Amino acid sequence: MQPLVLYDIVSNLPGHNVSPNPAKPRFVLSYKGLPFVTLWVEYSDISIAMRAIGAKPNKRQDGSDVYTVPVLSDPNTGALITDSLEIASYLEKTYPEKPIFPNNSESLIREFDPAHFRLIQPALKSIFVRTIEVFSPASAKSLIESRTMDIPLPWDENYDEDWALLEKGYNTACEWYQKTHGKWFMGDAFSYADIIVASYLLWFKRVLKEDEWVRISSWNGGKWAQILADVEKECKLA
Ligand SMILES: N[C@@H](CCC(=O)N[C@@H](CS)C(=O)NCC(=O)O)C(=O)O
């Protein structure tokens, strides 16, 4: 089997990975034990690089086209897929062993993805402030330009407010987890829902200052650091 190719955003952190959406397919590929290589793209070059390989653009909230990563290329089938959720769906159909949508849960988890994002979205500008610190100057500029459309500058003005919103979001996520017995979102069944949760936590852990990550780790009895560690172990990415 030829290695699959994952396109991800480069940062100046050791190991490069930082971005939550490409983290999702990385967890899936590793969980399923599929061979893969990562091609690192500057945030500022996403559009030119994805056009060059013939990837399909994604859609902005207003319906306009935008080139995004992750993109997955599978030389075994010729598939070239844009969007983390479509990549997850493709991998599950093409490589069904070690399911990530157990008990026919794909439709439900498709709804979980934006519902989970809505919990943390109000606090994102404080995380973007940290993200631009680990990008090259060109990519930092490009991230600011592309995200100020929906998150107006200045990004660090309501810092305390953002932390309160983030804690509130995770309190809600904790209530969701408590609805079932077992450590995963679906009780005893590991699923792509846990990968979604872990991918954002990984982003926070990678870009935040140590005391900021410790703060998140202290919420809900240490649940979030534990979930991230459990998912990394389950996917053999620890
Ligand atoms: N719904 C998409 C979102 C992907 C996305 O927004 N990717 C960001 C990086 S995490 C991106 O490529 N942004 C490029 C831009 O906004 O210009 C997915 O899940 O793959």
Cα–Cα dist 205/230, whole Å: 15
- pLDDT confidence of 122, banded at 50, 70, 90? confident
One domain for residues 14 and 107? no
Query: Whole-prediction pTM value?
Result: 0.96
Ligand 1 atom showing the smallest separation from residue 19 Cα: 10
Domain-ending residue, one of 94, 123, 150: 94
One domain for residues 90 and 113? no
Cα–Cα dist 137/177, whole Å: 39
Q: Which of 11, 17, 58, 110 to mutate to test the pocket of ligand 1 (most atoms within 8 A of CB)?
A: 58
Predicted pLDDT at 4: 98
Predicted pLDDT at 60: 86
One domain for residues 113 and 226? yes
SS3 65: strand
- Its domain, for residue 17, covers 4-94
The rounded Å distance from CA 70 to ligand 1 centre is 7
One domain for residues 109 and 30? no
Per the CB < 8 A criterion, the answer to whether 33 and 80 are in contact is no
CATH of the domain at 111: 1.20.1050.10
Predicted pLDDT at 163: 92
The one-letter code for the residue type at 46 is I
Q: Structural domain tally of the chain?
A: 2
Residue nearest to atom 19 of ligand 1 (CA): 84
Residue nearest to atom 9 of ligand 1 (CA): 69
Vertex 77: Cα angle to 71 and 83 (nearest 5): 20
Predicted pLDDT at 41: 98
Of residues 124 and 82, more confidence is placed in 82
Domain-ending residue, one of 94, 114, 135: 94
One domain for residues 229 and 128? yes
One domain for residues 79 and 62? yes
Predicted pLDDT at 158: 65
One domain for residues 117 and 191? yes
Mean pLDDT value of segment 201-219: 96
CATH of the domain at 16: 3.40.30.10
One domain for residues 159 and 66? no
Predicted pLDDT at 157: 64
Average pLDDT value for the chain: 95
Residues 138-184: tens digit of each pLDDT: 999 999 998 887 787 777 766 888 899 999 999 999 999 999 999 99
One domain for residues 115 and 85? no
The one-letter code for the residue type at 52 is A
Residues 29-84: tens digit of each pLDDT: 999 999 999 999 999 999 999 999 999 999 988 889 999 999 999 999 999 999 99
One domain for residues 80 and 139? no
Domain-ending residue, one of 32, 60, 94: 94
Q: Which of 51, 64, 69 to mutate to test the pocket of ligand 1 (most atoms within 8 A of CB)?
A: 69
Predicted pLDDT at 118: 96
Predicted pLDDT at 153: 78
The rounded Å distance from CA 95 to ligand 1 centre is 24
One domain for residues 62 and 169? no
One domain for residues 107 and 90? no
Cα–Cα dist 231/238, whole Å: 8
Per the CB < 8 A criterion, the answer to whether 7 and 41 are in contact is yes
